Amino acid sequence: MTPVKRLTALAAAALVGLAPADLLARPLPQVCETVNSKLVKLFGAGGFARLNNFGAGIVVSPDGHILTVANSLIDTPNLVVHLPDGRRLKAEVMVVEPELDAALLRIVLDGKKAGEPTGLDLAFYDIPAEAKRPPAAPGTTAIGFTNQFEIALRDEALTAQKGVVAAYAKLTGKLGAFDFPYKGDVYLTDAITNNPGAAGGALTDRTGNLLGVVGRELKNTQTNTFMNYAIPVGAAVDVTVKENDKEKTVRVSLPDFVTRGMKGEYRPTKRERPTAGEGGWAGIVFVPNVLARTPAYVEAVLPGSPAEKAKLQPDDLVSFVDGEPVGSITAFEEYLRTRTRPGGTIRLEVRRGGSLQPVELTLAAPPARVVVVPPPKK
């Protein structure tokens, strides 16, 4: 393109509201093809009570490390990845950082030990390099690549939705009835990207540069409306943690999470338990736990228990605890055992009928076990 034609084209673009970068970028189908080659479809746990068993992920190394969100989908030993070329491979979780709502996975090949090169040589996004660019300004063309509604399988391309960055602001979101743990900056878009199965997809600019990771289905705490957002590739938040009875502030960032996570060096941010001792007791009797992932359906509540005082009912399905999805009875019991203490309060969301009901429940100490010895036979 000659200088005169270039100036003329840029002037015409300004009249119709197109950015110069959009005009000079490759054709959109080519951009979509390139971006799709760096993404995967994920299939794992779910299948009930708003817990979908499908999502998306971003390839972040040629050996098959995958960045996605920290949702219930990955809580399964049978996590499966569909590559852009149609291959269907196993994957496992390496590390999760709740404060960033991020999870790092790796593809597992038969005959390969953990840490060994896979030889996959996949197209990928270099997260530290992508994070060096300044945040995209409002009005920048944005494209969301997601597996919403499970439209894509095997070698099928992910759904691409074109819009613009509407704002770059702090996230004020809630998952169900409770505040979302990530409180950092997000991209808000005018495209409806955050639908079931979209979480973990990629938000890019018009040239295919990675802007962020498409998030979950959250509501804005100020408007109570669903948001379409992505966590920026350079996201960083300050978290107050307690160590040896002293509080300190640590910074966690997405580039650091990915870089150190791939080396096996990242340690998730954990908040210290309030006291030592046993986990809290709720007094919930669940249905028989006979499956690998039996849904947390309430069969009964014990008289005088915290569950009875909170008015839980038989057939309630415990779907969230403190804002985190409950994928199974085992997951809920593990949460109580390792992350709660007697006297602490947990916030549940239970599916009752066709709606989710918020429930606050103050845990008690586990009751003493009474062993009944039958009288000796005469």
Per DSSP, the three-state class of 258 is helix
* Within a domain: 199: yes
The residue range of the domain holding 218 is 20-232
202 and 319 in a single domain? The answer is no
Please report whether residue 245 resides in a domain: no
What is the per-residue pLDDT for 175? Answer: 74
Q: What angle do CA 106, 110, 113 make, to 5 degrees?
A: 60
Do residues 26 and 135 lie in contact, with contact meaning Cβ atoms separated by under 8 Å?
A: no
Residue 174: pLDDT band with limits 50, 70, 90: confident
| Helical residues (DSSP H) of the chain, grouped into ranges | 3-16, 20-24, 28-36, 127-131, 254-262, 306-309, 329-339
What CATH code is carried by the domain that includes residue 98?
Answer: 2.40.10.120
pLDDT recorded at residue 313:
93
Q: Residues 30, 95: one domain?
A: yes
Instruction: Return the amino acid letter for 301.
Output: V
Res. 75: pLDDT tops 80: no
| Same domain flag for 188 and 291 | no
Within a domain: 300? yes
Residue written as tokens 């502030």?
A: 249
Q: What is the per-residue pLDDT for 206?
A: 95
Q: Give per-residue pLDDT as tens, 214-250.
A: 999 888 888 888 999 999 999 999 987 766 677 788 8
Pick the last residue of a domain from 232, 256, 274: 232
Length of the chain measured in residues:
378
Let me know whether 149 and 31 are in one domain.
Answer: yes
Residues 68 and 182 in one domain: yes
| Residue 313's CATH number | 2.30.42.10
Looking at mean pLDDT, say which of 145-159, 344-358, 364-378 comes out highest.
145-159
What is the value of pTM for the model shown?
Answer: 0.78
pLDDT > 90: percent of the chain: 56
- pLDDT per residue as tens digits for the range 91-105: 999 998 988 999 999
Burial class for 357, CB neighbours closer than 10 Å (0-12, 13-18, 19+): middle
End position of a domain, from candidates 232, 250, 269: 232
- Residue 38 included in any domain: yes
The helix (H) or strand (E) run that includes residue 249 is: strand 246-253
Q: How many domains does the chain have?
A: 2
Could you write out the DSSP letters of every residue in 201-218?
-EEE-TT--EEEEE----
Domain check: are 188 and 298 in the same one?
A: no
**Do 340 and 195 have their domain in common?**
no
The answer to whether position 255 is within a domain reads no
- Answer with the one of 213, 232, 251 that is the final residue of a domain: 232
The 3 state secondary structure assigned to 89-143 is: EEEEEEEEEHHHCEEEEEEECCCCCCCCCCCCCCCCCCHHHHHCCCCCCCCCEEE
pLDDT confidence of residue 79: 93
Domain identity same for 211 and 290: no
Q: For residue 229, give every residue at least 6 positions away whose Cβ sits within 8 Å of its Cβ, in sequence order, or none.
A: 171, 173, 186, 187, 188, 189, 194, 214, 215, 218
pLDDT confidence band for 184 (50 / 70 / 90): very high
Bridge partners for 14 per DSSP:
none
List Cα–Cα distances, 200 to 6, 42, 85, 117, 276, in angstroms: 38, 9, 19, 24, 36
Is position 288 within any domain? yes
From CA 105, how far away is CA 363, in angstroms rounded?
Answer: 34
